[in-house]
């Protein structure tokens, strides 16, 4: 028995001292950047437009991917919370349109001001608010970005004034076009053309669907709104146009929403499921960026999957907060009407009900 143990010991000792012939290395070298061709924009009253090639750095690519995935997962969670009746009232989701808000933010400065319509969740996130603040606002909780009083259509952040419930109503958009052109205001007007106005296709609603020409004397661009790089470059071009003193410019972002107009709209009574699936399979903005990054060695599939896992956890944590955080008390109903005013009384539903307003 002792001889056997000694033999085994010598064998193991020899094996330990013998150098390995092959070593598995798990590291991988990624490219720092890559150049991509992007779709040429259609132009109105412009001699030159945005570039048709652009450089994407690995750092920016990972950032855009994470942001778009976060917006996508946040909207899907909002859909779930709405169907559980935890979110009430109006709720307009922007999944499918992530390249618009992410690309736009990549093309402007944090000090620039942004006003948007009611499909505002993605813009609220890209302007700097957290998923927790957005979902808590949707569920009407005190931790929401508007302290639970605004909901889906009324979210605000620094230099962000949206959303707004009425879009271009009663000709006001054309009045704004005219004033901006007369005064040469540094304003970018953006039409997120997701092909449908509520349940009506653009072809049925408009004799001319060239929305980028609707500014008449204002120059315009028609942009591939499903490509985050195309939106980024077009936005940089438009911002440069405005900052140089040339006045306003109009951008039409051709995009697509996967959900219906709002949560009360199933989204398949005026379009087919096959149409939605075709856009998902051929033009999805997250898929397009992912394929570019992987094929150009800016990232690996495994690395992007890790981001997906991290994003899902962030969304779940935010959803738990949004359902556990308390609602604002009734006595705070009149709070925050003004930003910096002495307290005053606000009349309620009748003259005998009074609320105190505190800035």
Is residue 4 in some structural domain?
no
Is residue 333 in some structural domain?
no
The pair of three-digit structure tokens given for residue 100, joined into one six-digit string: 């618009």
What pLDDT shows up at residue 26? Answer: 55
Q: Which residues contact 147 (CB under 8 A, 6 or more apart)?
A: 328, 332, 335, 336
Three-point CA angle 52, 57, 60, nearest 5°:
100
Under 8 Å between Cβ of 78 and 135: yes
Residues β-bridged to residue 161: 156
Here the CATH number for the domain that contains residue 173 is 3.40.50.970
Report DSSP state, residue 211.
Answer: G
What does the pLDDT look like over 325-348, one tens digit per residue? 999 999 998 998 888 999 999 998
The pair of three-digit structure tokens given for residue 129, joined into one six-digit string: 């608010």
Is residue 340 in some structural domain?
no
Is residue 52 in some structural domain?
yes
Between CA 200 and CA 124 the distance in angstroms is: 26
Domain count for the chain: 1
Under 8 Å between Cβ of 245 and 184: yes
Is residue 201 in some structural domain?
yes
Return the number of other C-beta atoms located less than 10 Å from residue 21's C-beta.
Answer: 5
Q: What is the pLDDT along the chain (359 residues), one digit of tens a residue?
A: 444 434 434 433 444 455 555 554 456 899 999 999 999 999 999 999 999 999 999 999 999 999 999 999 999 999 999 999 999 999 999 999 999 999 999 999 999 999 998 899 999 999 999 999 999 999 999 999 999 999 999 999 999 987 876 766 657 889 999 999 999 999 999 999 999 999 999 999 999 999 999 999 999 999 999 999 999 999 999 999 999 999 999 999 999 999 999 999 999 999 999 999 999 999 999 999 999 999 999 999 999 999 999 999 999 999 999 999 999 999 998 998 888 999 999 998 888 999 999 98
Structural domain containing residue 38: 33-328
Is residue 11 in some structural domain?
no
Under 8 Å between Cβ of 238 and 219: no
What pLDDT shows up at residue 170? Answer: 53
Is residue 129 in some structural domain?
yes
The pair of three-digit structure tokens given for residue 36, joined into one six-digit string: 């991509």
Is residue 134 in some structural domain?
yes
């Amino acid at each position: 028995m002792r001889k056997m143990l000694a033999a085994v010991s010598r064998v193991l000792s020899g094996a330990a001292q013998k150098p390995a012939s092959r070593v598995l290395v798990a590291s991988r070298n990624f490219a720092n950047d890559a150049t991509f061709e992007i779709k040429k924009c259609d132009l109105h009253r412009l001699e030159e437009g945005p570039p048709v090639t652009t450089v994407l750095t690995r750092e920016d690519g990972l950032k855009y991917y994470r942001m778009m995935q976060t917006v996508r997962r946040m909207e899907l969670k909002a859909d779930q919370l709405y169907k559980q009746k935890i979110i009430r009232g109006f709720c307009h989701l922007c999944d499918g349109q992530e390249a618009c808000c992410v690309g736009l933010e990549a093309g402007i400065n944090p000090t620039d001001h942004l006003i948007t319509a009611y499909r505002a969740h993605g813009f609220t996130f890209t302007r700097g608010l957290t998923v927790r603040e957005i979902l808590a606002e949707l569920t009407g909780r005190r931790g929401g970005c508007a302290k639970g009083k605004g909901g889906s259509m009324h979210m605000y952040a620094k230099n962000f004034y949206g959303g707004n419930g009425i879009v271009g109503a009663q000709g006001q958009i054309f009045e704004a076009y005219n004033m901006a052109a007369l005064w040469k205001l540094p304003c970018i007007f953006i039409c997120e053309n997701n092909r449908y106005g509520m349940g009506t296709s653009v072809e049925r609603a408009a004799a001319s669907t060239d929305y980028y020409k609707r500014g008449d004397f204002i120059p315009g661009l028609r942009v591939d709104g499903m490509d985050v790089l195309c939106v980024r470059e077009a936005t940089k071009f438009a911002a440069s146009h405005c900052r140089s003193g040339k006045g306003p410019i109009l951008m039409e972002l051709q995009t697509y929403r996967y959900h219906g107009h709002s949560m009360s709209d199933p989204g398949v009574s005026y379009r087919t499921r096959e149409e939605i699936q075709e856009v998902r399979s051929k033009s999805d903005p997250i898929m397009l960026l992912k394929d570019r990054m992987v094929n150009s060695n800016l990232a690996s599939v495994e690395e992007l999957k890790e981001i997906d896992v991290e994003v899902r956890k962030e969304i779940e944590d935010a959803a738990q907060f949004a359902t556990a955080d308390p609602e604002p008390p009734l006595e705070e109903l009149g709070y925050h009407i003004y930003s910096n005013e002495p307290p005053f009384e606000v009349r309620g539903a009748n003259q005998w009900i009074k609320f105190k307003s505190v800035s």
